[in-house]
Amino acid sequence: MMLTVFGSTALDTIRTPTKVLKDVLGGAATFAGISASFFVNTGLIAVIGKDFPKKYHKILASRLNLDGLSVKNGKTFRYDGKYDETLSTRTTLRTELNVLENFHPVVPEQYKKSQFVYLANNDPDQNVALIKEFDRVKFSMCDTIEFWISTKKASVVKMFKQVDAVVINDEEAKLLTKESNLIKCAKKIMDWGTEYVIIKKGQHGSILFFEDVIFPSVGLPIENVVDPTGAGDSFAGAMIGYLTSKKKTDLATIKKSTIYGNVMGSFAVQGYGLEGLLRINKMDIKKRIALYEKITRF
């Protein structure tokens, strides 16, 4: 086992202008783990409740190692969100932590040798405790969201000190740092202790920051966007999955991993929930990478 992904596996209610999905398989670790699984064997650490449907468990088992998946009495973590007509703004209607709230994750023995670890947008205190359980981490990465920034900002900053890279979207970077300029946002986050900052900009791609290096990458233009849910998590999962598959963490490889992140995010938005990721294969990814290289070369 080379890559471990920790975070939420959820039952989501997603409201788009064209369709409402109720209690569908979601969660940051779910999207990130499945995206990463196209590149490397991936172990999932998460918790679900007794209400978690067997059909969703089967999907997870077909893509991921589930030795780290705990089943607890109670309800599975639930998220309810609504997109505007442009699909660019999402409003959180309800967040129910349920079994996630008092979850004490345990790292299975076979996961402890993972050299690459991704901490999805999850309770930062849990993330800090978990990363210490691994024997020899070569590269670790984390994400966070508005919910944790608003409720546990100090813990979020503490978490950033424990990882090599932070992936965060532009709005949350601004909220966290109280800066309006993304370069200033990244510099402040790096000052807190992480080496790399990757700011996700949705359909506009991402920007990688490292010391004095700034590497912007465009989002792949997609005409048939139906549901942006999980695109950012798919981006991060592809990044860490690609790095794990290459067993390298030099700047050139990290730059290339952001390209794979943009490409996997582009697949995610083309289906409702996980549909966009579940219906593709490695050849589809290869073709889209080739397309990306073609349209960005000049």
Q: Are 49 and 71 in contact (CB under 8 A)?
A: yes
pLDDT in tens, 127-138: 999 999 998 999
Tell me phi and psi for residue 134, to 5 degrees: -90, 145
Closest CA to 240 of 35, 66, 59: 35
pLDDT in tens, 216-268: 999 999 999 999 999 999 999 999 999 999 999 999 999 999 999 999 999 99
Q: Where are the alpha helices (DSSP H) in the chain?
A: 28-36, 54-63, 124-131, 146-151, 153-161, 170-177, 182-191, 231-246, 251-268, 275-278, 282-296
Count of other CB atoms within 10 angstroms of residue 212 = 6
What value does the mean pLDDT of the chain take?
Answer: 96
Tell me phi and psi for residue 102, to 5 degrees: -115, 30
Which pLDDT value is given to residue 133? 94
Q: What is the mean pLDDT of residues 195-215?
A: 97
Q: Which residues contact 112 (CB under 8 A, 6 or more apart)?
A: 133, 134, 135
On the 0-12 / 13-18 / 19+ scale of CB atoms within 10 A, 11 is buried
Tell me phi and psi for residue 215, to 5 degrees: -125, 100
**Cα 142 to Cα 63, 232, 290, distances in angstroms:** 21, 12, 28
Residue 2 binned pLDDT confidence (cut-offs 50, 70, 90): confident
Task: State the angle between helix axes of 28-36 and 251-268 in degrees (0 to 180), rounded to the nearest 10.
Answer: 110
Q: In what order do the strands lie in the sheet with 213-217?
A: 65-72, 42-49, 3-6, 116-119, 139-143, 165-169, 196-200, 206-210, 213-217
Q: Is the pLDDT of residue 116 over 70?
A: yes
Q: What is the mean pLDDT of residues 146-158?
A: 95
The CA distance from 163 to 159, in Å, is 7
CATH of domain 3-296: 3.40.1190.20
Closest CA to 130 of 145, 148, 118: 118
pTM over 0.85: yes
Domain boundary assignment for the chain = 3-296
